[in-house]
Copies of this chain bind each other. A is one copy, B any other.
Amino acid sequence: MKWKTKITKVEPNHLITRGYRQEDLIGNIPFSHVVYLLLKGELPTKEHGKMMDAILTACIDHGVTPPSSMASRIVASGEVPLPTAVAAGILSIGDSHGGAIEKGAKFSQDGIKRMKDENMNIQKTAETLVSESREKKKRVLGFGHRVHTSDPRTKKLFKLSDELNISGDHIDLSKNIEKELETKIGKKLPINVDGAIAAIISDMNFDWRLGKAFFLLGRVAGLTAHVYEEQTTEKPMRKMATVSCSYTGPAERDLPQRYQHKDNMEE
């Protein structure tokens, strides 16, 4: 069985990751830049390095209510090892939790490609994409938030991407889509943190298929803190949530006739 990998070469007393000796990376390259190296294959420029670091920090935590933190804390309460509970939270990262980064980045990258192919300008592209989405009754992902109307993380990320000269067509497109949505819907649906990250990683030339990875790599820090807090300050199997549940299934009933008169489980 012959595998190929571009990630790490392992020999006795010799570990090479993406070409670099691990002992050179350790203590010389900030961890967030090493993460970039792992995902992209090359170390970041100074600007990309700072942006990468900022994106990871923007994803660290959103309190106890998102599916990932809830899942991690609930699983921790069953009394399992820390990594098992952290992994449970990661499992919830799906198309609706963190998934807008992936889908948003794809939408944006496809949009910019099409803009170039069809020789449109950004504004026209935004109009076209919004109107097509509305026709198909599909939400444009990455706009609006259930808690925040002006998310401080989004503002900070865009401020940085401007300062670092990273902002390009994809961020521009997002801002035009935001305006277009406001015009068409008559209501402000501000770019949310997922949408901002989707646009920024697209301007950093990342594959949209890595969309969920950024969220995961930042959020895993918060999940670890939640599991540790649950394990060290709460009792296992504590009552965690008030869920008033109404049973809407069939009313109480006897077993069907056919199961009642025989030795039903004859081998």
Contact = CB atoms under 8 A, between A and B. Distances in A.
Q: Which 7 A-B pairs have CB atoms at the shortest separation, nearest pair first?
A: A19-B250, A241-B241, A78-B97, A96-B236, A6-B249, A9-B247, A80-B94
A226 B7 contact: yes
A179 interface: no
Contact count band on A: 35 or more
B245 A243 contact: no
Contacts of A60: 17, 22, 25, 34, 38
Contact of A213 (B25, B82, B160): B82
A157 interface: yes
A216 interface: yes
Given A5-B247, A46-B267, A80-B94, 15 more contacts: A4-B245, A10-B65, A12-B149, A27-B53, A27-B54, A28-B255, A64-B243, A70-B74, A74-B74, A78-B92, A78-B95, A80-B83, A209-B228, A241-B241, A241-B243
